[in-house]
Amino acid sequence: MFLKKLLIIGFIIIINLNFSLAQISKKPLTPQDLWNLKRVSALTVSRDGKFSAFTVTSYNIEENKGVSNIYILDNQSGYIQQLTTAKAMDGSPAWSPDGKSIAFVSKREGDYSQLYVISISGGEAVKIADMPLGVSNPKWFPDGKRIAFAANIIPELANNLDSMKKVIEQKKKSKVTAKVSEDRLIRYWDRWLTDGNYPRLFMIDLETKKIIDLLPNWKNYFDLMEGADFDISPDGKEIAFAANSTDSPYDSLNMDIFIVPTDGSGKLVNITKENIASDFGPRYSNNGKYLIYGMQKIRDFYADKVRLIKYDRNSGTKIQITDESYDRSPEQWKLSFDDKTIIFAVEDRAKKSIFRIDIDGKNLKEIVRMGTSNLPHPLKGGKVVFLNQSFMYPNEVFIASMDGKNVKKLSSFNDSLLSQIAMAKAKEYYFKGADDDSVQMYVLFPPNFDESKKWPLLQIIHGGPHSISGDDFHFRWNPQLFAAPGYIVALVNFHGSTSFGQYFADCINGAHPEKPFEDIMKATDYLINLGFIDEKRMAAAGGSYGGYLVSWIAGHTDRFAALINHAGVYNLMAQFASDVTYGRDRSYGGSPWYNKQSVQKWSPAEYAENFKTPMLVIHGEKDYRVPVNHALECYGVLKGKGIPARLVYFVDENHWILTPQNSIYWYKEFYDWLKRFIK
């Protein structure tokens, strides 16, 4: 008996020892690991609901580029098979109506993405269309004989693609580099809009290869990020699309829903012209009776809540599906096969959940609440397939019952690598912020966290400001990477953040930094009171609006030992050199020509005399959202005052750092700055 007990004790010790060794053998996440993880996206489901297609992107750090391939998933068995294998960026998979083929776009043969079709049984992909400025967003017609797609064109040469190609080549060779315009909107994100190119919808006959311009008189923009938001009616006779409805000089933009017949006549009907704010996301019901879309009511406020609208195609009547009291914004909506239920994703309390609602507006219910879910697709048999990620893992494909039960992970592209990583644990807190409102934050604790010790604090401030620090695996600002060297990472969803209701998001307009700054400082006090924060080793970092708040912090407190400002707004007056300048008077409470004292009051540049804290300033040359003069002015002031400052300037990046080696270098500079002041 005694021997038996010894054996049991020894067995337990061995198990615990093995477990401890397994934990010790794991290592913190590194930037190189981040770029070795596979990125799953673009989930779409076949018409019969039996199969899913999605893309998986892998990066080669040494070559400094990525490859994206299409995979097929059997939704019932969970079996996954790689479909395309080209060393290219294959994207936007679209199922044929019979489920036997997939259309997609790829840069396999040049600088622009073109249209390809491949059989799901394998074989070589066939190029279907070759447009001078590329192809995007393919969708099959219900007859399976035609494909619609979007493409940028030179309007005057839309009927002669060969001539268009020649003109484009001549422009490339021209020694004249001037950009000329009289529009208010002259550039967007990282590209100029002065070349006279506009997007249109086209249709190609797969047998004859004849291409028809469906918008022959169109000269405007769809989505300025170069997307195309459209859907084809079940009978194939019309297309509904979302696009800007204002004309040059584009003093403002307003998205509306347009209907165009597919006969090539180009006869447009704007079905939402009565709404002064944006309408978008048109989706036909399977029976063809309705068009479901999203509507906002406040013009030039991108975070205004979204209402789901049901448009009766026969009568032209519109019924609001989501009740006005519903204080969240649906997105990515899809109708069930029987048209009785709408499935959608929605930001809710710093997560992104999947909800369902009856098409008549009844029985609103959250069905999946875990991390961040995207692209939900209803299946036959009462299930939904979707992408999900969290602080602990990047996107994978999941499936669940329509009631939210039986959640199951179907893909595991990163399980092997992640099993070797010691991950930071996350915890959610609520505290009293500005106006005594309840404010939420996530806190990540480094893998070796010991509550009895004092730790350095890193406040990570999200951009927007109308966005969230969500429970997700961010590939540009990854919370795990910030915690890995040994920092307590706080992610505060301050006033102005979305997912907490309309008031909470809108209440900072006219005084952009006031309440968020108070929230950040009260969050800092809250964490200090928990007993494990070293008050002398605290830093704050943010990008875009987060960088703006970092500069505001620099002028209003010296509690932080170091600051990191990525692509941050510094001088609000200079933001009128941004790509989008309309609507800023609502955000800032004024403009350079009206109530300018309000703009100056909330501009970090006005408080430079108070700057004391060392700051790392990072920016990209191709950032037109926050022009690079913000970084240069802030850096110049810091150096002029003799404050420790460092400038990291990427000549080939935009508002985001998107290439592997630049990203890894970005993290190195980030780490080195923190180590220098709060190690």
Over range 548-555, report the average pLDDT: 98
Give the model's pLDDT for residue 23. Answer: 52
Which domains are delineated in the chain? 422-678 (3.40.50.1820)
Q: In the 3-class helix/strand/coil scheme, how is 28-79 assigned residue by residue? A: CCCHHHHHHCCEEEEEEECCCCCEEEEEEEEEECCCCEEEEEEEEEECCCCC
The mean per-residue pLDDT over the stretch 608-613 comes to 98
> What tokens does 194 get?
């002065």
Nearest-angstrom CA–CA distance, 364 and 355 = 7
Q: How much of the chain, in percent, has pLDDT values that exceed 90?
A: 92
Residue 663 confidence (pLDDT) above 90 = yes
- Cα–Cα distance measured from residue 677 to residue 547, given in angstroms and rounded to the nearest whole number: 19
Q: What confidence tens digit (pLDDT) does each residue in 76-117 have?
A: 999 999 999 999 999 999 999 999 999 999 999 888 999 999
Chain segment 45-78, per-residue pLDDT in tens: 999 999 999 999 999 999 999 999 999 999 999 9
> pTM (2 decimals)?
0.94
**Residue scoring higher pLDDT (254 or 582):** 254
Give the C-alpha separation, 266 to 246, whole Å: 18
Distance CA 147, CA 211 (A): 10
Rounded to whole angstroms, the Cα distance separating 204 from 147 reads 5
Q: Which residues is 148 bridged to in the sheet?
A: 139, 203
Residue listed under structure tokens 């690079």: 628
Residue-level pLDDT at 317: 97
Sign, CA torsion 658/663/669/670: positive
| 24 — pLDDT class (breaks 50, 70, 90) | low
d(CA 38, CA 56): 6
* Bond from prior residue into 465 cis (ω within 30 degrees of 0): yes
pLDDT of res. 467: 97
**Helical segments of 394-533, H only:** 415-418, 479-483, 502-506, 514-529
Is the confidence at residue 7, as pLDDT, over 60? Answer: no
Q: Could you tell me the sign of the dihedral formed by the alpha carbons of 628, 632, 634, 635, in that order?
A: positive
Compute the average pLDDT of residues 253-261: 97
Alpha-helical (H) ranges within 621-659 are 629-640
Separation between Cα atoms, residue 139 and residue 211, nearest integer Å: 14
pLDDT band at 662 (very low <50, low <70, confident <90, very high): very high
- Percent of the chain residues topping a pLDDT of 70: 96
**pLDDT per residue as tens digits for the range 272-309:** 999 999 999 999 999 999 999 999 999 989 999 999 99
pLDDT at 10 over 50: no
Average the pLDDT over 415-440 and give the result.
Answer: 98
Distance, in Å, from the CA atom of 48 to the CA atom of 579, rounded to the nearest integer, reads: 43
Going by pLDDT thresholds of 50, 70 and 90, the confidence category of residue 226 is confident
The answer to whether residue 21 scores a pLDDT higher than 50 is no
Q: pLDDT at residue 1 above 70?
A: no
- E strands, 414-463, are 425-432, 438-445, 455-461
